[in-house]
Amino acid sequence: MTAYKDFAMLVRSLRRLRMFDVDVYLHVDRKTRFANSEMEILKGLCRTVQTCYDIPWGGHEHIQAIVGLMRDAVLSGEPYGYVHTLSGQDIVIKPLSSFTEYWDGTIYMKSIPRHDFPENVEARIAHRNLLHSWQKRRRVWQTADLLLQKIQALPGLARSQLLSQTPLHKGEVWLSMPFAICRRIVESSEAHALLHELRTTYIPEEFFFQSVIMNWEYASRVNQRNLRYTDWHSGRGRPAFLDDSDFGPILNSGDVFARKVSTEKSDSVVTRLEAEYGKS
């Protein structure tokens, strides 16, 4: 799990996961200003709490943080069955043991191949994010990056593919995979080389797991449903923060997790989920 704000909802989500016997490996964004006492509470709810990276939106550091947590899970020696990538704005709907038919080796991950990329995504491949290390200094980065994009639009300067020629696939970073595949990602020099190569790609978190898994022999095991109830279509946001109007659809979705939730907007629907499937 990766988190950066809303301590109250984060704790609520963690306690619910622990109630359902889920071990949590947590990364808290380095720029987050949780009090020392709050960090101690988080440590009491998690197997690991890391604060290694200051993560800009969609940044390369997000993938580094997730892979670092996966490494901790592998090194723990625990015989886990599945790994689920979550944010601090996710809530588990009901016990994972209620979904035994899901945990059969299937990878639950949204992924589209390169030939289906829309034009705006192709632009993220063609134009390198050469100042990615400056992305945290948003105003300076935006100004300089705009100039560099215009330069890269000149004939002969655009990138048609990664130097490694890895076929790219794209999707959300939120997925569920068998632990054996998590272990292979952690131990694979090929995966780590791709992670490094993606550092100059815009929003690399949308390419890494998909481009690794879909180029391995596991591609046939991918289910495009990622088991996260998410509201992309109500017009309240993309995605929307969930509220009481989502309660029925969440229960009927067959999904394992729901996102996004916040203390301000989602208190009531989370309370109703707690009443329906146990209070955290």
Question: Between β-strands 90-92 and 257-259, what pairing exists: parallel, antiparallel or unpaired?
Answer: antiparallel
Question: How far apart (Å, rounded) are the C-alpha atoms in residues 273 and 209?
Answer: 30
pLDDT at site 137: 64
pTM of the model: 0.92
CB 276 within 8 A of CB 251: yes
pLDDT digits (tens, 9 = 90+) for 253-266: 999 999 999 999 99
CB atoms within 10 A of CB 105: 12
- Residues 91, 95, 99, 105, CA torsion sign: positive
For residue 138, what pLDDT is reported? 67
Name the nearest CA neighbour of 25 among 79, 81, 65, 59: 65
- Within the chain, which residues score under 50 in pLDDT? none
What is the model's pLDDT at position 34?
A: 95
**Start-to-end Cα distance in the chain:** 18
Question: Given this model, what pLDDT does residue 155 score?
Answer: 76
- Taking alpha carbons only, the member of 274, 275, 277, 276 closest to residue 9 is 274
Q: What is the pLDDT of residue 115?
A: 96
Cα–Cα distance between 220 and 215 in angstroms, integer?
10
pLDDT for position 57 = 84
- Which pLDDT value is given to residue 149? 80
pLDDT of residue 197: 93
